[in-house]
A and B are shown apart, each in its own frame.
Chain A
Amino acid sequence: MTVETAEVRDAPRAKSAATKIRRAQQDPAWLRWSLTGLAVAVVGVLIVLPVANVFAGALAEGAAVYWKNLVDDPDTRHAIGLTLTVVPIAVTANVVFGVAAAWAIARFSFPGRTLLTALIDLPFSVSPVVAGLMFVLIFGLQGYFGAFLRRDGYAIMPYLVAALLVLLLAVAYFVFRPSHPRARRGLWKTPPLGLAFVFATVFVLLVLGQQAFEVWPANKSLKIIFATPGLVLATAFVTFPFVARELIPVMNAIGADEELAALSLGANGWQMFWHVTVPNVKWGLVYGIILCNARAMGEFGAVYVVSGHIAGETDTMPLRIEKLFQEYNMPGSFAVASVLTLLAILTLVVKRKLEDRIPQSEQGRRTGAHP
C-alpha cells in the first residue's frame, strides 16, 4: 500500500516517505521520550534483567564451579547428550515433512488445501502437556498399543522399515522416472500400483527374514514412553508446524516461474528441486529450521509427560533444569539454563540476519509469533 503510493508520487516525497515519519504523524517530544523510556523499561524488566540473572546465577560461585556443574555432573552430561540426540531427529523429520507440505500446498491447488493448511497449525494450539498425554495414551503401559508393545514390541519393526524403504523408493521413483510419457513403460505407468507392489515385496521379505533369522528380538518389550522414541515423538509433535509454516509463504512469494523454466529447459524433477527450488527457498528453510530447533531444544511440557524423568536416562536439558531446581541446586540449574539461553540469543541473532534475505509475499507476514 505505502510502497505503491510512494512510487506514483514525486521522487523526493517517495524518499522521505520511506525514511521518516511525516509531520502529521509526529508526537510531541515529551510524549515521545516518555513512551520510549517506558517501553525500554518494560523490555528491560521483562526480558533483559532475567537474561542477565541467568548468567549471574550460573556464575554465582565462580567460573570453575560453573564448568564443574556442566561437565562433571554425569546426569547433566547425559541430559545434554540426550537433547543432542532427540532434537536432530525430530527436526529432520519435520524438515522433510515441511518441504513436502510446502511443495504440495504452495504449488498446486486441490480440494481441502485450506483445511490442510489449517491442520498443519493444529499442534500450536495444543497444550504441550496434552500433547505428551496423547502419546502416553497411545504408547504408554495402559495405552492402546501398550500391551502389544510390551509383549512383542519389535514386531512393528518390519512395518516401520518397510514404510521407510518405500518412502525412499518413492523418491527414487520420481528421480528416475523417464520424463517423456512414451518412454514410460510397465510399472512406470502406474506409480501407486508399483509402490504397493514394492511395499508388499519388501514387507514380505522383512517378515520372512524376521521369522527365519530374528533380525529384531522377538517377544521383547519395546519401550516408547519413558524412553527416547517417546521424547522424539513428543518433540516432533510440538515443533511440527514450524518449517512448513515458514516455507509456504516463501514459496508462494517466489512463484513457480523459475521451476517451470527449469523444466522447459530440460531439467528433471530432481534437478529442478536441487538447482532451483532449494537455492530459492534456502534462507526461508534455514529460518524455519532455526525456529524449529529453538523450540525443540527448549520443549518442556510435552517431554516432561512422556519422559518419566529418570535422571541419567530420560532427562533432556530443560528437564534437568527442573530436576536440579527441585534439588535446590541453583547454580547447577542455572548452569544448564545458561547454555540454553546462549542458544536462544544465538537463535535471535541468526533469525535477525536471515530476515532481510527472505522474500516476503505480504508485509509483516514474518511475525515469528505462533499460537
Chain B
Amino acid sequence: MSIRIQGVSKNFGSFRALDEVSLDVPSGSLLALLGPSGSGKTTLLRIIAGLEVADRGTVLHHDENITDYEARDRKVGFVFQHYALFRHMTIAENIGYGLRVRGVSKQERQTRVDELLKLIRLEGLGSRYPAQLSGGQRQRVALARALAARPNVLLLDEPFGALDAKVRTELRQWLRKLHEEIQVTSVFVTHDQEEAFEVADHVVIMNEGRIEQVGTPAEVFERPANAFVMDFLGNVNVFHGRVERGRAVVSGLSVAYPDYQHPEGRDAAVYVRPHELEVEPTPTEAGSLAAKVLHVNPTGSRTKVELRALDSNQLINVELTPERFAELGLKSGDIVHVSPRRVRVFVPDYEI
C-alpha cells in the first residue's frame, strides 16, 4: 500500500510546522523521516495517521484520498513514542484491542494475539500488565498492538527514542528483520541519522517544515542535496572560499569543481568530511594546508585528529584509519599538511 502526500501544510498558531510537503512512499518500503527537533517530521507522521489535520493538501493511500478520514478508518498502525499502552489492560488485551473494537470474535482474537506474542518473542507474558515489562518489551508490545489488525501502513514515532543504547541497537535490527518478513509499508520518525541509515531503505531529510532531500541512505550521504543535509549528516569541516572557472579555492588551495564554470568568482562554502581529508608530513604538489596537531583521539575504529590551520587558525577535524595513523606517528604539536580528497561546494541558491 503506497502513501502519497501532496502539498501538505500545517501551522500551529504562527509556527509553520509543514510547508507544502509532497512525498511518495512506495508500497512495501521502510522509510525514515529524519530531521532535527521542530522540523515537522512528527507532524507529518501524525497527519498520515489522521491524528492531526492538515491545513492544506491531500493524503492518498494507494490512490484513495483519505485526507478527511478519521484515524480509526485509515487502517494504519501507529506506534507511539512512549508506547501509550493501556495500563489497565493486560498485554494480550492491549494487542487484541484493535480487533475487539472491530468486532472480531474472541477466538479469532486469541489466535492472532498468540501469533503476535510469538512474533515479538513475548510468549507467556500475555497476562502481564504493561507496568511489569521492561522498556524494550513494551516497545515490542506497542508494535504488536499496531500490527494486530493487519494495517495497510505502519507508522512509528521515534520508536527507539525512550530506550537505552544497547536495547536500541537490538531492536533496530529486529525491526529491520520484521519488516523483511511482513513487508508492510512503514514510516518512522527519528532524529538519529545512524538509526535512519541502519534501519530504513529510504530516508527523507526534513528541516523547518520542508523536505530537503529524499533518497536511499547511500544517496543522501554521498550526494547531499544541499548544505543543510551535508551538515546534518555527520561531522563536516566547513571552509569559506570562492568558486570560479571550474575550481574551488580555499586558503590558496585549489580543487576541481566542474559544476561552476562561470569566469566571475563567487563566495562559497566548501564542505569536507573528516575522513575525506588526507594528512601528509610534507607539503604535497597539488597543494595543501599547513596545520598544527592539537589533539589526538586514537579510540574507536577511526582515529580522530584535531588540527588548527596555521594561516587562518581554523579548526579542522580529520579521521584516519589506525594504520595510516600509525604510519604517520602523529602527536600534539606536530606540523602536518592537509589536502582534501573530495569536496562539496554549495553556492547560495539564487543563481539557479
Contacts and interface: CB of A to CB of B under 8 A. Distances in A.
A contacts B directly in the complex (CB < 8 Å)?
A: yes
B71 A10 contact: no
Given A8-B162, A10-B38, 7 more contacts: A9-B81, A10-B41, A11-B38, A12-B38, A13-B12, A13-B46, A23-B71
Given A5-B82, A23-B51, A10 B15 contact: no
Given A15-B13, A15-B15, A23-B71, A9 B52 contact: no
A127 interface: no
Contacts of B162: 8
25 contacts: A8-B158, A8-B161, A8-B162, A9-B42, A10-B17, A10-B38, A10-B39, A10-B41, A10-B42, A10-B43, A11-B37, A12-B12, A12-B15, A12-B17, A12-B40, A13-B12, A13-B42, A13-B46, A15-B12, A16-B12, A22-B52, A23-B50, A23-B51, A23-B52, A24-B51
Prevailing SS type, chain B contact patch = loop
Interface residues of A, number: 13
Interface in A1-59: 4-5, 8-13, 15-16, 22-24
Nearest to B52: A23
Nearest to B209: A12
Contacts of A23: 50-53, 71
Contact of A10 (B40, B50, B51, B82): B40
Contacts of A16: 12
A4 B82 CA distance: 10
Interface in A106-133: none
A5 B71 contact: no
Contacts of B158: 8
Contacts of B81: 5, 8-9
A4 B81 CA distance: 12
Contacts of A10: 17, 37-43
Contacts of A22: 51-52
Contacts of B82: 4-5, 8
A25 to B, nearest CB: 10
Contacts of B17: 10, 12
A320 B158 CA distance: 66
Contacts of A12: 12, 15, 17, 38, 40, 43
B71 A24 contact: yes
B295 to A, nearest CB: 33
Contacts of B37: 10-11
B255 to A, nearest CB: 38
Interface string B43-74: 10010001111000000000000000001000
B61 to A, nearest CB: 18
Nearest to B16: A12
A22 B80 CA distance: 14
Nearest to A22: B51
Contacts of B51: 22-24
Contacts of B38: 10-12
A8 B158 CA distance: 10
Interface in A178-232: none
Contacts of B40: 10, 12
A328 B220 CA distance: 89
B48 to A, nearest CB: 13
* Top 9 closest pairs, chain A to chain B, by CB: A11-B38, A12-B12, A12-B17, A10-B42, A12-B15, A16-B12, A10-B38, A10-B37, A5-B82
Contacts of A13: 12, 42-43, 46
Contacts of B42: 9-10, 13
Interface in B1-60: 12-13, 15, 17, 37-43, 46, 50-53
Contacts of A11: 15, 37-38
B202 to A, nearest CB: 21
Contacts of B12: 12-13, 15-16
B111 to A, nearest CB: 28
A13 B43 CA distance: 7
A354 to B, nearest CB: 30
A9 to B, nearest CB: 6
A307 to B, nearest CB: 49
Contacts of A8: 81-82, 158, 161-162
Nearest to A9: B42
Contacts of A9: 42, 81
Interface string B153-197: 000001001100000000000000000000000000000000000
Nearest to A4: B82
Nearest to A10: B42
Q: Residue among A4, A5, A11, A12 with the most chain B CB within 10 A? A: A12
B263 to A, nearest CB: 45
Nearest to B189: A10
B144 to A, nearest CB: 21
A12 B43 CA distance: 8
A11 B43 CA distance: 10
Nearest to A15: B12
Nearest to A20: B12
A13 B17 CA distance: 9
A9 B12 CA distance: 14
A11 B191 CA distance: 13
A18 to B, nearest CB: 11
Contacts of A24: 51, 71
A17 B8 CA distance: 21
A9 B36 CA distance: 11
A8 B82 CA distance: 10
B99 to A, nearest CB: 19
A23 B161 CA distance: 24
A217 to B, nearest CB: 67
B196 to A, nearest CB: 16
Interface string B125-140: 0000000000000000
A120 B243 CA distance: 80
A69 B71 CA distance: 64
B155 to A, nearest CB: 14
A24 B50 CA distance: 8
A13 B37 CA distance: 10
Contacts of B39: 10
Q: Residue among A9, A10, A11, A22 with the most chain B CB within 10 A? A: A10
Nearest to A2: B82
B160 to A, nearest CB: 12
Nearest to B50: A23
A24 B46 CA distance: 11
A15 to B, nearest CB: 6
A15 B42 CA distance: 13
